[in-house]
Amino acid sequence: MSLAAPLPASVPIPIRIPLRQVLPWAIFIGFLAVLALYFVGAEQGATSLVSGHYVHEFVHDARHLLGFPCH
Ligand SMILES: [Zn+2]
């Protein structure tokens, strides 16, 4: 006698994901990516949204990793 539960014969896997379901998430993820790119690359000086150097210092290594001019 086996203790394992029997496996179902087949599990349906959806092959297509409709574009209407993917598009809002793609736009949202794209917005987050652009926002992250802004904070890493341009959050400094005249374009700074947050006063001080806290954001710049927090993303400083990522800034150098991506090749943005820094110092
Ligand atoms: Zn630097």
Q: Which residues surround ligand 1, an ion (CB under 5 A)?
A: 70-71
The reply to whether 45 falls in a domain is yes
40 C-beta neighbours (distance < 10 Å), count? 20
Count of domains in the chain? 1
Burial degree of 60 (CB within 10 A; 0-12, 13-18, 19+): middle
Sign of the Cα pseudo-torsion (29, 33, 36, 38, in order): negative
The reply to whether 10 falls in a domain is no
CA 32 / ligand 1 centre spacing (Å): 23
The reply to whether 1 falls in a domain is no
Whole-structure pTM value:
0.61
The reply to whether 36 falls in a domain is yes
Domain residues for the domain of 48 are 19-65
CA 59 / ligand 1 centre spacing (Å): 9
The reply to whether 37 falls in a domain is yes
The reply to whether 43 falls in a domain is yes
Q: Which of 5-14, 16-25, 34-43 has the lowest mean pLDDT?
A: 5-14
The pLDDT tens digits for 34-58 are 998 888 888 777 777 777 777 888 8
Q: Over 80: is that where the pLDDT of 20 sits?
A: yes
Q: Residue 38: helix, strand or coil by DSSP?
A: helix
Confidence of residue 1 (pLDDT cuts 50, 70, 90): low
Both tokens of residue 66? 């991506």
